[in-house]
Amino acid sequence: MAAATASSPPAFAITLSALLRRRTNQTNRLRATHTRCFSSDASAEAAEQQSRRGGQGGTRLEEAVPAGEGRLRIDAWISSRLGSGGVSRARVQASIRAGLVAVNGRPISKVSHMVKGGDLVSCTVSELQPLRAEAEDIPLDIVYEDDHVLVVNKPPHMVVHPAPGNANGTLVNAILHHCRISTFTCLARNSTGDECPDSSDDDIDVFDVDQFTADEVSSEVREALVRPGIVHRLDKGTSGLLVVAKDEHSHAQLAEQFKLHTIRRVYISLTCGVPDPSSGRIEASIGRDPNNRLRMIAIPGSGHRYARHAASRYKVKEIFAGGGSALVEWRLETGRTHQIRAHAKLLGIPLLGDETYGGTKSMALSLMRPRIPSRYHSDLSTLISKVDRPCLHAALLGFIHPHSGKILEFTCPPPDDFAEVLNELRRVTPSSDDSNGNGVAQ
């Protein structure tokens, strides 16, 4: 089960039905707390430069691991000692790789080095380095902003961070134009795709501070992926809410909330078929598909060597076309790469438009056309042919503010492409299909 927050989060402030209405003009309301991040004031600029360098740079730790402690990863142990001061685990890992950490007087370079009770650990926190990604004037749908965090509504088809093949036009490029924030760089994994055994959730970005020049990067590392302040990710095709940290303390605190699964996240999707039962909990580890490195695979149970524990809760909200499709709500207990998409496939209900996981247009039409009046066949086929992404939307995001400690919760309706398909499915669904008069599952 997911860990609970210190105080229970508020109820879903906007009902699902309200979320699914067409969006009205929200600009004034959503930007009520908007703050500009640039200032012509000299002192403000100086403070900004200090923030970009990283206020924790140069912090020293020299401490013995308590006697009786079992074997622990060095990065995890140092993070436990410095995390409360706003130093992220990724910053610690960068310090290790830069040769700024020693155990019993001997420098180490592996973030997975094991320490035990009695070992003397010394660490100097590395400085943050300038960001190499370029700012681009790309509009942002800002849901909330203050001096420490930014919540945005990511449109479909936007990549979150630069990566090979997507160097520009990303959410990160847009954020850099909007507001200067602390800069982080994560190096691409090597070709084996190996991960640290206890690294954080796959949809949480673990950052390495950029300490390397192009000549210093190992040949095993393909390219640097620049991800300033991004605490978690959404797939390119997924729309919805995403939180960005504007300083390192906020990043460390939010990453910890993701690690403890206290972040509140609700997604909605359109599926091919209807799950049976109509609500439940699926626990199936997720790992890389050995036959397709771009796809994940869900494996029932846990304890698999090359897969990581994953659990999701789902509930059918509406049924369409006599069971040919459904509006399904998802609540995540963990956050793995493609978790909802892989779990939906395992349940036999791939997301509509998710060609990678079996939610093809032909499958959708084969399930729906026989169940709806023939007069709707042409319109349905035309609409489904236009679906060019998995119909998945991050509708709710809640977290504890990293500085004030207040519980914040945000909701946003799905974008026009999702809403158009949803409205058409409602239109072609005969009233006799409705379980309670409007197709909403109870």
Question: Which residues carry out catalysis?
Answer: 235
* 178 three-class SS: helix
Calpha distance 442→436 (Å, rounded): 8
Closest by Cα among 129, 281, 266 to 207? 129
Calpha distance 228→174 (Å, rounded): 11
Calpha distance 103→80 (Å, rounded): 16
Calpha distance 140→153 (Å, rounded): 8
Q: Which tokens in the block code for residue 37?
A: 């991040």
Closest by Cα among 341, 329, 238 to 286? 341
Side chain identity at residue 349, one-letter code: I
The DSSP 8-state label assigned to residue 350 in this structure reads P
The label of the residue with tokens 């303390």 reads 249
The bridge status of strand 292-300 relative to strand 279-289 is: antiparallel
What angle (nearest 5°) sits at the alpha carbon of residue 388, between those of residues 222 and 381? Answer: 155
Calpha distance 159→144 (Å, rounded): 20
